[in-house]
Amino acid sequence: MTTKTKLSRRSFVAGSAGVFLVPRFAKAEAEFVMKVASVAPSGTPWAKHLRALKKRIQTESGGRIKVKAYLGGALGDEIATAEATKRGAIQVFGGTAAALASAVPELAVVELPFLFDRVSQADHVLDNVIRADLEKLLWDRGYVLGFYSENGWRSIGTNFGPVHGPKDLAGKKMRSMESDVHLATWRALGASPVPIPVTEVLSALQTGVVDGFDNTPLFTFAASWYQGINNFTLTRHSYQPGLVVFSRKWWEKLPQDLQEIVRGDPVAESKKGRRGVRAIRKMLIQNFTNAGIAVYEPTASERSAMKGATAKVHDEFARKTGAAGKRLLDKIRKAL
């Protein structure tokens, strides 16, 4: 046997030993962990979308990013998780503009009462009119805008009857998001707003702490709030988009190739999120009737009266948010 043959055989044996010393099913550690927080309960279009996002990112990154989705407020309410995302303790927040407005007050502009009449208007404004503005505002406050989704049109659920106008809300204790725009909207309608986290609303309804709330049909059923009401009035007074944002602190640590994977196609993701929610809109309204909850559709004059009563909320928003907020509102008004 030649020296060359001996060396080749030794090399083969050494190489083979190396192979068998490595556990057959060992996996490399993920380089990055991506915790996604949302108050959306399991089974909702939101939850399905976030799970699809998890699968896509883990697959396309080849396991370099490990995604953990926490639904139903498992990591805290929206304001708490939005703040944790800013700090980098959570990497992704999926939720409402109102919650993010705690850090970026100008974002609340999109939830002003009776700002939009149709979803096509909201889509146009968000996609084509103010997206660049929102991207900059979010970046400056510690976030990276990923894509939009949707909660939908907020309407009013009550345990005291339908809402024909402000007179029906006078003195009523109504659950409110912890947002200046939402609090001001309730006050303009004559109600007494009570800020309560999402996870405590059902018990507040059942114990009489509040007489009602506003939210979308989707969330009303997903969170079981319908169990605490006997009427649902389709005021559709506020369109509420959803946003998926990344922690800027975490984002800046990602190499560019992973940033591109995480971002994906924002336009396609937005369409997917909106489509999932809108596809079940009619079914959700029927669910109220099936659950024995009366559904009331306000007349045009009743909606007009409520719109007039809340017009001052727009002016209050512009005053509180200064030049940046007023500029956004003016751009939206011009586009509409």
- pLDDT at residue 177, as a whole number: 93
Q: Tell whether the torsion through CA atoms of 181, 182, 183 and 187 is positive or negative.
A: positive
Report whether CATH 3.40.190.170 matches the domain 30-335.
Answer: yes
pTM of the model: 0.85
128, with CB counted inside 10 A (0-12, 13-18, 19+), is exposed
- pLDDT at residue 42, as a whole number: 85
Q: Residue 103, SS3?
A: coil
Q: How far apart are CA 141 and CA 246, in angstroms?
A: 12
305, with CB counted inside 10 A (0-12, 13-18, 19+), is middle
- pLDDT at residue 7, as a whole number: 37
- pLDDT at residue 28, as a whole number: 57
Tokens read off for 80: 């708490």
- Element holding 131 (H helix, E strand): helix 131-140
Q: How far apart are CA 82 and CA 71, in angstroms?
A: 14
Within 8 A by CB and 6+ apart from 63, the residues are 27, 28, 30
Which residue numbers in the chain have pLDDT < 70?
1-28
Pick from 172, 319, 146: which is nearest to 233 by CA? Answer: 172
Cβ pair 197, 75 in contact under 8 A: no
SS (H, E, C) 194-213: EECCHHHHHHHHHCCCCCEE
Task: Tell me the pairing of strands 173-176 and 192-195.
Answer: parallel
Q: Which letter does DSSP use for residue 123 in this model?
A: H
Exposure class string for 148-170: b at 16+ Cβ within 10 A, else e: bbbbbbbbbbbbeebbbbbebbe
Question: Following DSSP, what letter does each residue of 291-309 receive, concatenated?
Answer: TT-EEE---HHHHHHHHHH
Tens of pLDDT, residue by residue over 274-285, are 999 999 989 999
Phi and psi at 160, nearest 5°, equal -125, 5
Tens of pLDDT, residue by residue over 18-40, are 333 333 333 557 899 999 999 98
- pLDDT at residue 9, as a whole number: 37
The residue type of 150 is: E
Q: How far apart are CA 243 and CA 93, in angstroms?
A: 8
Residue-range domain boundaries for the chain:
30-335
- pLDDT at residue 40, as a whole number: 87
- pLDDT at residue 30, as a whole number: 84
* Bridge partners of residue 32, in order along the sequence: 65
- pLDDT at residue 14, as a whole number: 35
Tokens read off for 101: 């407005």
Pick from 264, 215, 218: which is nearest to 237 by CA? Answer: 215
